[in-house]
Homo-oligomer: A and B are copies of this chain.
Amino acid sequence: MTASDAPTTVLKLGGSVITDKDRPEALDGPALDRAADAVADALSAGEVSDLVLVHGGGSFGHYHASEHGVSKTEGSGEARAAVEIHGAMKTLDDFVLARLHDRDVPAVPVHPFSAAYRDEAAALSLMTEQVETMLGEGFVPVLHGDVVAHAGEGVTILSGDEAVTAVATGIDADRVGFCSTVPGVLDDDEAVIPEIESYDEVAPFLGESDATDVTGGMAGKVRTLLDLGAPATIFGPDALREFLAGEDPGTRIDGR
């Protein structure tokens, strides 16, 4: 928990939302501007206070990761490959920080490659005491998808979603939001399912997700979020202001 008693929010900005996935290392500047505007407005209106941001890799991380054949399970022992993927993510992070600073959001970076590792069983450990200290000082910590050292594998990819769940668990977040390219979890008629409390409710639409789903697909995401210990909301870019104002647009996932 942070020093203050204000609720703590973790907000993920999907890599597909803030970058142009069709071109390597291409920012979607207008989309990032709109997200940064929403965050700045919600902070200055006092709608949120203790806020942690996480962004995905989008066309920055994914391009270099696939160039080097690195995934969440397939590692690389090449330092140059690790630093190239990490560097691309830091470049995207610099864009995100700059747009936030332009709007007086006190954003500071937390690079997971420096603060996390996986053990031989692939279990992730992420330090979060520095994040809590930053929140206590009024900063907005910004994490992102990255590479992480992985015992026996060199480095593997840490997805933005994994960073979200690790940091939300570590700081005992009260709310978690995923701003993605879809408006929520969809049923067979492409309608947004407003609330999910167990996987059985949505298995007909998402299929029988198992533990080997590491593609970041919706089935694995829903399973992970049901186990999170805090309510999570999946929504589209147009609903970001609503989420920051305390509402639950899109799909609310709460397995507690």
A residues sitting closer than 8 Å to B (CB atoms) are 3, 77-80, 82-83, 86-87, 90, 94, 97, 101, 105-119, 125, 127, 129-130, 133-134, 136-140, 148-155
Q: Check if B138 sits within 8 Å of A77, measured CB to CB.
A: yes
Q: Check if A154 sits within 8 Å of B137, measured CB to CB.
A: yes
How many identical subunits does the complex contain?
2
Q: Check if B110 sits within 8 Å of A114, measured CB to CB.
A: yes
Quick one: which of B86, B114, B129 contacts A117, CB cutoff 8 A? B129
Chain B residue with minimal CB distance to A141? B149
Quick one: which of B82, B97, B114 contacts A115, CB cutoff 8 A? B114
Q: How far is the CB of A21 from the nearest CB of chain B, in Å? A: 26
A109 to B90, CA, bound (A): 12
Quick one: which of B83, B108, B114 contacts A82, CB cutoff 8 A? B108
Q: Check if A101 sits within 8 Å of B79, measured CB to CB.
A: yes
Quick one: which of B108, B130, B155 contacts A137, CB cutoff 8 A? B155
Inside 8 A of A129's CB, which chain B residues have their CB?
A: 117, 125
